[in-house]
Amino acid sequence: MTDQDSSDRSAELLRLTLPKMSKHGGGYHPVSYALWYDYVSGENAALRAAVDAVLATQERLTHAATHELYQQFLVDRAEEAVSKARTELMELLGQMQSSVNSADTQTSGFNAHLDNFGREIARTDSMADLKTHVGGMVEQVRSLSQSLGALQGELGRGRDEVRRLTEELERVRDEVLTDPLTGLLNRRGFDRALSASLEASRCGLAPLSLVMIDIDHFKRVNDTYGHVFGDRVLHGVAAAIRASIGRVEAAARYGGEEFAVVLPDCDLAAAQATAEQIRSAVERSRIRKANGDTIGNLTVSAGVATCRPGEAALDLVERADKALYASKSAGRNRVTAHTA
């Protein structure tokens, strides 16, 4: 392909990208541009399939869905942040090493001046010569003090920079593992939380349970009230889940209108009670529309499973999911435990 062909193709892709940015929830934003440019290029089949799957159920991508797909398919912010931090830390170490070497050179020179000062003082027999040697020594002390002061300042700046980079890494880590709409863990965060809880459960032989939750008739909510209100429903259900669990439990938006709650040190009966508390909280809740009106009668179905000895994460999720769909089949708005 010639440079002209490449330029023509880029222009054509841009022409196809802009209307999609305008139509969908991401708007004219770099994230939206990256998503739709990649989509129309056809080079990312997985992204295109995921976008088409969402658009098969709704007319347009919401802002939250745009960012979620971007995060899932186009960039790994954690790896990007770690690479950036590694580069900046290496530069910082180089600067600090240079300052230390400079101070070390100054210190070595000062030691030589001390030796010479001692010899000169021993041979001095006039006040004028003594004054000259003391004046020279004062200059050496002043020079060393400035050098060490510069090193101290450099080390202080280095400490501040390391603190800044640490905070940035923590912020990006939280962003990568968090669902932007609900504030709960996203799918990646859930996978990590479940894996860590499984490992801790095996080491301590403590029970571990999982609750899978799905909003009943969520498509009907979107079709009736619109996707903006649908996002409010997701946010409201997430708030009900968060209010029903403790700090050691991990709640996640598993995907779409489905949520998951990891319950460490929790047997089947206790997990059922937690799931019932969440179900009841959602049933009592009311979601406010943009005009101030509130909508009630929202319900969720839940499935609960407790980890078996040596059970893999995927198997535990599958059993909790089976229990969830048993709740759906039995009429929704209920909790079912997988006991088989």
* Beta-strand pair 294-295/208-215: unpaired
Residue 158 CB contacts under 8 Å (≥ 6 apart), including other chains: 92, 95, 96
d(CA 244, CA 239): 9
C-alpha–C-alpha distance, residues 180 and 244, integer Å:
20
Helix/strand/coil (H, E, C) string of 164-179?
HHHHHHHHHHHHHCEC
Non-local (6+) Cβ contacts of 211 within 8 A are 260, 261, 263, 271, 274, 275, 278, 302, 303, 304, 320
- DSSP assignment of 294-309, as one string? EE----EEEEEEEPPT
Say which of 257, 258, 283, 311 is annotated catalytic.
Answer: 257
Q: Known catalytic residue: 249?
A: no
CA-CA distance, 340 to 306, in Å (whole number)?
11
Token pair of 52 as six digits: 């088409």
Neighbours of 10 (CB within 10 A): 12
DSSP 60: S
Contact 238, 251 (CB under 8 A): yes
Contact (Cβ atoms closer than 8 angstroms) between residue 280 and residue 290: no
As a whole number of angstroms, the distance between CA 44 and CA 41 comes to 8
Question: What are 294's strand-pairing partners?
Answer: 288
Give, rounded to a whole angstrom, the gap between the first and last alpha carbons of the chain: 60
Q: Could you list the active site residues? A: 257
